[in-house]
Amino acid sequence: MSDPDFTASEMVELRARAHEGDEDAIDQLVELAGSRNDLDELRSLADAGSTDAVDILVELAGERGDRVELQRLAAAGSQDAADILDELDS
C-alpha cells in the first residue's frame, strides 16, 4: 500500500530516514499511515516509539470497537486504550 503522492522508492527512503531517527520522516509516515488506515505501518511506528502512532491506533481501534487492539495497546502502556476499554465495559 503506498500513497499516490509517493513512489515506492520514496516510501523506502522515508522509512529509512525514520528508522535512523529523523523526526520529520517519522511524523510524515505517521500522517500517511493514519490517512490510509494502515494499521501495520502504524503498529511498526508505535513499536519503534512513536506516541503519535499509538494515539492514532487507539483512535482507530476505539472507532471500530476493536477490543483486541485496545487490549494490546493498553498492555503496552497506553492509558488512553485502557480508558476506552473501561468505557466499553460500562
Residues 48-66 have pLDDT tens digits of 999 999 999 999 999 999 9
Separation of alpha carbons 12 and 79, rounded Å: 32
Amino acid residing at 60:
L
Entry pTM: 0.85
Q: Are the C-beta atoms of residues 30 and 23 closer than 8 Å to each other?
A: no
Q: Is 43 exposed, middle or buried (0-12, 13-18, 19+ CB in 10 A)?
A: middle
Position 82 scores a pLDDT of: 96
Q: Are the C-beta atoms of residues 85 and 67 closer than 8 Å to each other?
A: yes
Position 1 scores a pLDDT of: 44
> What does each of the 90 residues of the chain score in pLDDT, given as a tens digit?
444 577 889 889 999 999 999 999 999 999 999 999 999 999 999 999 999 999 999 999 999 999 999 999 999 999 999 999 999 888
